[in-house]
Amino acid sequence: MKYNDYPYHRIDIESFRANMDEWRKVFNEAESAETQSEIIQKVDAFSREYSSYQAIASLNYNRNVNDEDAKAEKEYYDSLGPQMSEIGNAFDKDLVASKFRHELEEKWGKQYFKQIEMDLKTFDPKIMDMMLEETKLRNEYTQLIASAQVEFQGKTYNLAGLGPFHKDSNREIRKTSYAARLDWFQGHADTFDELYDKLVKLRHKIATTLGYETFTELGYLRMGRSDYGPEEVANFRQQIIDYVVPIVAKLKEQRQEILDLDHLYFYDGINYKEGDPKPKGTPDDLVNKAVKMYDELSPETGDFFHKMVDEDLMDLVNRDGKMAGGFCTGFPKYERPYIFSNFNGTDHDVVVLTHEAGHAFQSYESRKQPLVSYLWPTMEAAEIHSMSMEFITWPWMDLFFEEETDRFKYKHLAGALSFLPYGACVDHFQHWVYENPEATPQDRKDKWKELESQYRPGQDYDGMPFPESGALWQQQLHIYQMPFYYIDYTLAQTCAFQFWMRFNKEDEQAWNDYLKLCQAGGSMPFSDLVELAGLESPFKSGTLKDVANEIFEWLETINVKEL
C-alpha cells in the first residue's frame, strides 16, 4: 500500500476499556504464563493499531496545520491520551504483580518490565486533566511556529522558507534575513514567555502531585532513562566545556580565516565566502540519488529505501502551512516508517534526509521485534542511528555535492562537533528551569545568557534585541514540546563520531555492528545498546576527549584555503 491508502480509524475508547477489562480478568485468573502471554500479545496488537492511527492523525496535521479536518483528528487522539494512560496503567500494575513474572521476563525480556515500572511512576488518574492541558499548551506552540509569516525582500515566507537566506554568501542578506526572523520572534516574545511559564508551572504541579520534589525526576522517567541520571549528564556536560568548547573556539578562528572577516557575528554561520555547498538538482533528483546510494550501501538499505519511495512514505519539501522541522514517525500496524522534512535548497536537505533515513531504517529493521515497546529505543539511543547514518553515507556525498563534496564534509564534521556545546547549553538550561519553577521569564533569560557565556563564549548578536535579551532558546521546540529531550543529541553524536572513526578506518565490522544496533530497537537500555554496537559509553571518562581530539586532528589535515 501507499501511505494514502492506509486505513485510518478513530479508536473507540469505551470499546477498548471493555476489552481491557475482559483481558485483565483473564490475565489475573490465568493459571499459566502462557495464558498471560496470550493476553500480552492481544494488548500489544491493540497498541500497534492505536499508535498507528495516532501517528497518522498527527502526521496529517503536521503536513498541513491549516487543514481543519486533520486538526480535528489530531485533537481527538490528543484527547484520548490521558484515558489511554489510565487504562494502560491498570494493566501494567497487573503485569508487574504477576505471579508468573519470572517466566514472563524470560519470554519477553527484563527491559519490558523495566519500561513498565518507569511508566507506572509517571501516571496517576488524578493528573489526567493536567495532562490534557499540557498537550493543549504544546499544540499552541506548534500552531504559533507553523503560522509564522515573515516579510522579507517583498515576499512572505514561513520560518523554513527563510533558511536559504540565512546561508547566503552576501553578508547583508544573511544579517537582514535573520533580523526579519528574529523580529517575528520578538513580536511574539510575550506569548512565548507566557506559554512556557504555564508549561513549567503545570509540569511542576504534575510532578508534585505524583510525589516528586521537582519535575526533573519525572522528566527523566518520561524519557525512559533507566541507566543514568542528572549527575551523569552534568558530568558529561562538564566534559563538553573542558574538551569541546576550546576546540570549537579554534574552529571558529579557522572559519573566520576562511571567510576573511575581521569579526564573526552570529549570522556569519556559513563556512565559505561563496556560500555553503548546495546539493545539485531538484528534490526529485536528490531522492533518485539517494536510491542509488542506498542500493550500493547494503542490500538491507536498498530494500528499505525502495519501499520508502515506492510507497510514498516521505514528505520532504517545504510549503506553506507545513510544520517546520524534520522527523521520522512510524505505523507499527503496517510495519512502515515515514520521513517528514522541509527541503529548502541548502545542504541541510541532504543532512536531514540521511538523518531521518537513519531513524526510518532502524524502525524498519526492528519491525519484527515482539513488542511494540521494543520498536523504538529511548531517544538518546535512537539518535545514534540517525547521526551515524549521516556519516556512513559520506562515500556517496559526491552524488549530491559533486565538486563541492570536500567542502561539505569539512562543514558537516566541524558543524557536528560545534553543535555539542549548544546541545549541552539547552540541557543545562532545562535542568535549571525545572529546579527553579518559580523563576520569572526574565530570570530564565538571564540564566540563558549566563549559560551561553560558558558553552558558547564570544557569541555576538550585533545588537539584535531578541537574542541579546536572552530569549534565543524560544526557537527550540524541544524545550516546549519534549522537556529534557536534547542532551540525547550530544550523547548520540559522541557515539556517531565513533562510527565515523570506524568507517573512516574501513573497519569491516562497523556496518554489521550498526545493523545489529538497528535491529535491536528498544529491547535494551541505552548503555547496553552502546556496548552491543561496540562503542565506548559517552559517560566514560576520556571517551569524549579522545573522540574530539581525533576529529580535530582530521579537520587539521584539511587545507582550508583550498576548500
Measured from the Cβ of residue 216, the count of other Cβ atoms closer than 10 Å reads 21
In this predicted structure, the answer to whether residue 515 has a pLDDT above a threshold of 90 is yes
What's the domain count of the chain?
Answer: 1
Coil, strand or helix: which one is 438? coil
Residue 27 lies in a domain: yes
Residue 301 lies in a domain: no
The 8-class DSSP code of residue 323 comes to: P
User: Which residue type does 346 have?
Assistant: T
> Is 0.95 surpassed by the pTM of this model?
no
Distant-in-sequence, close-in-space partners of 12: CB < 8 Å, separation ≥ 6: none
In this predicted structure, the answer to whether residue 284 has a pLDDT above a threshold of 90 is yes
Coil, strand or helix: which one is 338? strand
CB contact at 8 A, 209 and 126: yes
Give the dihedral of Cα atoms 331, 337, 343, 349; nearest 10 deg. Answer: 150
Residue 32 lies in a domain: yes
Q: How confident is the model over 119-168, as pLDDT tens digits?
A: 999 999 999 999 999 999 998 998 899 889 999 999 999 998 898 899 99
Residue 156 lies in a domain: no
CB contact at 8 A, 349 and 363: no
Distant-in-sequence, close-in-space partners of 133: CB < 8 Å, separation ≥ 6: 202
Distance between first and last Cα of the chain: 45
Q: Give the integer Cα–Cα distance in Å for 157 and 180.
A: 10
The 8-class DSSP code of residue 364 comes to: H
Residue 95 lies in a domain: yes
CB contact at 8 A, 535 and 498: yes
Residues spanned by the domain of 63: 3-132
Q: Which of 508, 493, 486, 511 is nearest to 551 (CA)?
A: 493
Q: How confident is the model over 205-229, as pLDDT tens digits?
A: 999 999 999 999 999 999 999 999 9
pLDDT in the model for residue 24 = 98
Residue 69, judged by CB atoms within 10 A of its CB (0-12, 13-18, 19+), counts as exposed
Beta strands in 39-194 (DSSP E): 150-152, 155-157
Residue 99 lies in a domain: yes
Residue 34 lies in a domain: yes
pLDDT in the model for residue 274 = 87
User: Which residue type does 27 have?
Assistant: F
Residue 454 lies in a domain: no
